[in-house]
Amino acid sequence: MYDSIVIGSGAAGSVTARQLAEVGKRVLVLEKRPHIAGNCYDKPDKFGILIHVYGPHIFHTNEEEVFEFLSQFTDWRLFGHEVAANVHGELIPIPFNLNTLHKVYDEEKASRLEAVLIREYGEGSRVPIMKLRENSNPEIKAIAGYVYENVFLRYTMKQWGQKPEEISPEVTARVPVLISHDNRYFQDKYQGMPKEGYTAMFEKMLDHANITVRLSADCKDCMEFLPDRVLFEGKEFTGSVIYTGALDELFDWKYGRLPYRSLDFQFEHLDMDSFQGRSVVNYTVSEEFTRITEFKHLTGQTDTDGTTIVREYPFAYTGAKGEIPYYAILNEENQMLYQKYADLVKPLQNVYLLGRLAEYKYYNIDAIVKRALELAETIRRYRILSWALRRRTVFWINWRTWFVSFFPTMCRRERISLS
């Protein structure tokens, strides 16, 4: 007998499961794949090199709460993640920053442009490329033109099949132009890798007496999402259900497929100490793949012969067997289609949608962990409230305590169950 069912054991599902288990809920985790950890899944390849099977995942956060939570399950290899772009054979630091400026222009011009950028935006600022392009100053326009052409245009065409101006501005804004000499890809306080890898971290997280994990378990084999209730093994299930998978799939694509971009990962083992001397190189003006990741520089692994790299080839997800939906394509039309699916869940008071797939959003790992911590807390508080209501004890609680503890919970957008 379970109090909660979590569908998916990636970051969203594992964190929620753990937090619910911690407050005494008996949690069943249903995982469709034969392994845990979702797209963060890593494992040694046949050469003993720890690889990220679903592409490179670099953890980064400014959220103390998130870092502390995860640190219960792992030590860290912290570093400042840096990326270079290969532009016609030359490597330049990405995001484009003041160091990049000095690499691509001669010293005199670079110093002048640096002063112009600082005057215009202020030192330390982060300017999305689409904003930089709007600037009417001819010198800034020229920089924007260079960055657009050499960093964004072809990479975005490969990644999304569309030009930067055709995709949601928040996507290119993830990699702003930095008015600073900071070569790091992210500016967050904490960045790096779980020391023993992501799978080990999620294994520890799910290792709890109140958690049962079923692998290779498609939720649709034991659950039914009816218009007004959820069935588990043929009986109504009134505990909380946290769904982290693709929402169109849950409802058998009844309104059509939600569009996603997918990736084909081509791994290669090379008999050399290092292929590119760094973890990630983006190919921003050439090649069919977007980037090459060399794992040993990410994970810090030194006890291996040779090196393993992965090239990423993006393509439009079609739903064919073996394809994985990685990135939601953010636009109004897709959002409307997503909303039609989300509306099917609305009457199901005990079902919560969480994560990149279920919410059709572009989340970083830390943002998902934070959302999962909040959701588990919302569920926990509401359960206490419903317990108190059933026993009519709630009115004995001091009104201030009631207001501070429960009012925010009740106001949350997440739907809450009174089972």
Q: Name the one range near ligand UDP by CB under 6 A: 46-54, 69-77, 156-164, 344-352.
A: 156-164
Q: Name the one range near ligand UDP by CB under 6 A: 46-54, 117-125, 166-174, 337-345.
A: 166-174
Identify the residue among 150, 156, 240, 299 touching ligand UDP (CB under 6 A): 156
State in angstroms the smallest separation of the CB of 156 from ligand UDP. Answer: 4
Nearest residue (beta carbon) to ligand UDP? 155
Q: Are 76 and 196 in contact (CB under 8 A)?
A: no
The 10 Å CB-count burial string (b at 16+, else e) for 65-84 is: ebbebbeebbebbeeebbbb
330 touching ligand UDP, by CB under 6 A: no
41: exposed, middle or buried (C-beta count within 10 Å: 0-12, 13-18, 19+)? buried
112 vs 174 by CB, closer to ligand UDP: 174
270 vs 316 by CB, closer to ligand UDP: 316
Show the DSSP H helices in 5-78 as ranges: 11-22, 64-71
> What are φ and ψ of residue 159, in 5° steps?
-70, -40
The 10 Å CB-count burial string (b at 16+, else e) for 89-117 is: eebbbbbbbbebbbebbeeeebeebbeeb
Determine the size of the site formed for ligand UDP (CB under 6 A): 14
State in angstroms the smallest separation of the CB of 56 from ligand UDP. Answer: 8
Nearest one of 27, 362, 32, 365 to 193, comparing CA atoms: 365
17 touching ligand UDP, by CB under 6 A: no
Q: Name the one range near ligand UDP by CB under 6 A: 13-21, 147-155, 296-304, 408-416.
A: 147-155
Site string for ligand UDP, 253-292 (x = CB under 6 A): -----------------------------x-x--------
Q: Name the one range near ligand UDP by CB under 6 A: 13-21, 99-107, 150-158, 328-336.
A: 150-158
Q: Are 415 and 349 in contact (CB under 8 A)?
A: yes
155 touching ligand UDP, by CB under 6 A: yes
Helix/strand/coil for 351: strand
341 touching ligand UDP, by CB under 6 A: no
Q: Name the one range near ligand UDP by CB under 6 A: 105-113, 118-126, 148-156, 317-325.
A: 148-156
Q: Which two tokens stand for residue 124?
A: 């330390």
Nearest one of 8, 58, 53 to 28, comparing CA atoms: 8
Helix/strand/coil for 165: helix
State in angstroms the smallest separation of the CB of 224 from ligand UDP. Answer: 34
Residue 320's CB is within 10 A of a number of other CB atoms, namely: 7
Q: Which two tokens stand for residue 321?
A: 């067997």
Q: Name the one range near ligand UDP by CB under 6 A: 138-146, 153-161, 269-277, 405-413.
A: 153-161
Q: Name the one range near ligand UDP by CB under 6 A: 38-46, 167-175, 267-275, 339-347.
A: 167-175
Residue 181's CB is within 10 A of a number of other CB atoms, namely: 14
119 vs 163 by CB, closer to ligand UDP: 163
161 vs 306 by CB, closer to ligand UDP: 161
75 vs 90 by CB, closer to ligand UDP: 90
Nearest one of 157, 128, 156, 121 to 144, comparing CA atoms: 128
Tell me the C-alpha to C-alpha distance, in Å, between residue 217 and each of 29, 34, 225: 9, 8, 16
Q: Is 3 left (phi over 0), alpha (psi -120 to 50) or beta?
A: alpha
85 touching ligand UDP, by CB under 6 A: yes
152 touching ligand UDP, by CB under 6 A: yes
State in angstroms the smallest separation of the CB of 325 from ligand UDP. Answer: 14
159 touching ligand UDP, by CB under 6 A: yes
Q: Which two tokens stand for residue 374?
A: 């909040």
171 touching ligand UDP, by CB under 6 A: yes
The site for ligand UDP (CB under 6 A) is made up of 85, 94, 151-152, 155-156, 159-160, 171-172, 174-175, 282, 284
